[in-house]
Amino acid sequence: MSHVLVLVAVLGVYLALGVVYQFATPIFEASDELVHYPYVKYVADGRGLPPPVADPVLNPAQQEATQPPLYYAIGALATFWLDTGPAGRPYVVNPHARIGEPSATDNRNMVVPADASQTRTRTVDLAVRIVRAISLLMGAGTVLLTYLIARAAAPGRPDLALGAAAVNATIPGFLFISASVNNDNLVTLLCSLAVWLLLRLVAERAGLPSVRALGLLGLVVGAAALTKLGGLLLIPLAAVGLAIIAATASLSGGRPHWASLPWSWLARAYGVVFGVAFAVAGWWYVRNWIVYGDPTL
For residue range 135-157, list pLDDT tens digits in order: 999 999 999 999 999 999 988 88
Can you say how many angstroms the Cα of residue 135 is from the centroid of all Cα atoms in its chain? Answer: 9
Question: Residue 97 burial by CB count (10 A; 0-12/13-18/19+): exposed, middle or buried?
Answer: middle
Share of the chain above pLDDT 70, in %: 89
pLDDT of residue 197: 96
Residue spans per domain, the chain: 1-180, 183-297
**What is the pLDDT, as a whole number, of residue 204?**
77
Task: Using the predicted structure, report yes or no on whether residue 43 has a pLDDT greater than 70.
Answer: yes
DSSP 39-55: HHHHHHTT--S--S-S-
The whole-number pLDDT of residue 116 equals: 54
Q: CB 114: neighbour CB atoms within 10 A? A: 18
Rounded distance between C-alpha atoms, residue 250 and residue 275, angstroms: 25
- Let me know if 48 is exposed, middle or buried by CB neighbors in 10 A (0-12, 13-18, 19+): exposed
Mean pLDDT of all residues in 110-124: 71
pLDDT recorded at residue 114 = 67
The predicted pLDDT at position 97 comes to 66
Asked if the model's pLDDT at residue 253 lies above 50, the reply is no
Round the average pLDDT of the chain to a whole number and report it: 89
Closest CA to 75 of 182, 188, 229, 173: 182
| CB contact at 8 A, 72 and 107 | no
Collapsing DSSP states into helix, strand and coil, what is residue 175?
helix
Whether the predicted pLDDT of 256 surpasses 70: no
Q: What is the pLDDT of residues 177-221, one digit of tens each?
A: 999 999 999 999 999 999 999 999 988 766 788 899 999 999 999
Where would I find the beta strands (DSSP E) of 73-186?
none
Q: List the Cα angle 102/104/107 in 5-degree steps.
A: 125
| Helix (H/G/I), strand (E/B), else coil: 192 | helix
pLDDT of residue 75: 98
Q: How confident is the model at residue 115 (pLDDT cuts 50, 70, 90)?
A: low
pLDDT at position 7 over 60: yes
Which parts of the chain fold into alpha helices (H)? 3-24, 33-44, 70-79, 122-153, 158-169, 172-178, 184-203, 211-225, 234-249, 263-292
**273 touches 217 (CB < 8 A):** yes
Q: What is the largest CA-CA distance in the chain?
A: 74
Select the more confidently predicted residue: 62 or 186.
Answer: 186
Give the separation between CA 116 and CA 26, rounded to whole angstroms.
Answer: 14
pLDDT of residue 257: 55
pTM for this model (two decimals): 0.92
